[in-house]
Each structure stands twice: as C-alpha cells, then as structure tokens.
Amino acid sequence: MKIAILAIAMLALAGCAQFDSAKGVAVNEATKVADEARDGAEFMLCRGMTVGAWVRAYGASADKANAWKTLCATGNSQTPAKP
C-alpha cells in the first residue's frame, strides 16, 4: 500500500515538474519573440526610415528629435544614426 501511494505521489509530482518546465519554456520563448519585435521596431525607427520621414516625424520638435537621438544614437554602435 505504501509503495502504491509513493508511486502515485511520484507521478503527480513528475507531472507538475513537466508542467513547470513547459511553462518556463513558453515564457522564455515569449520573451525572445518580444525582444525580436523590439529589435525590429528599433531598427525601423533608428535606421529603416528615410531622412524625409524622419524630418516629418521628428524635425519640427526639438524634444522629439532629442528623444530620437537618445534612443538611436547613444549606445548603438552597429550602424550610425542617419539624421
């Protein structure tokens, strides 16, 4: 009887461990997808737009232009910012 209870407990706990590890994998993958989406958005914002699009979006506001420079020019050594 004790062996049966022990076996059931082990199976129940093993199922929880598998669920937790699957949940951890899902969270890890979701984090990777979110980081890739942010990378794509930053690429388009910092290096993917034309100069004309930049001027229309940020050129009229010194605050917006400075915010763009802070996000795109500092710490981004891969490709220099355009404007």
DSSP state letters, 45-71: IIIIS-HHHHIIIIIT-HHHHHHHHHH
Q: How far is CA 13 from CA 2, 3, 9, 18, 52, in A?
A: 16, 15, 6, 9, 60
Q: What's the rounded Cα separation, in Å, for the pair 42 and 44?
A: 5
Domain ranges of the chain: 1-36, 49-83
N-to-C CA span, the chain: 76
pLDDT by residue (tens digit) across 36-70?
999 999 999 998 899 999 999 999 999 999 999 98
pTM above 0.85, yes or no: no
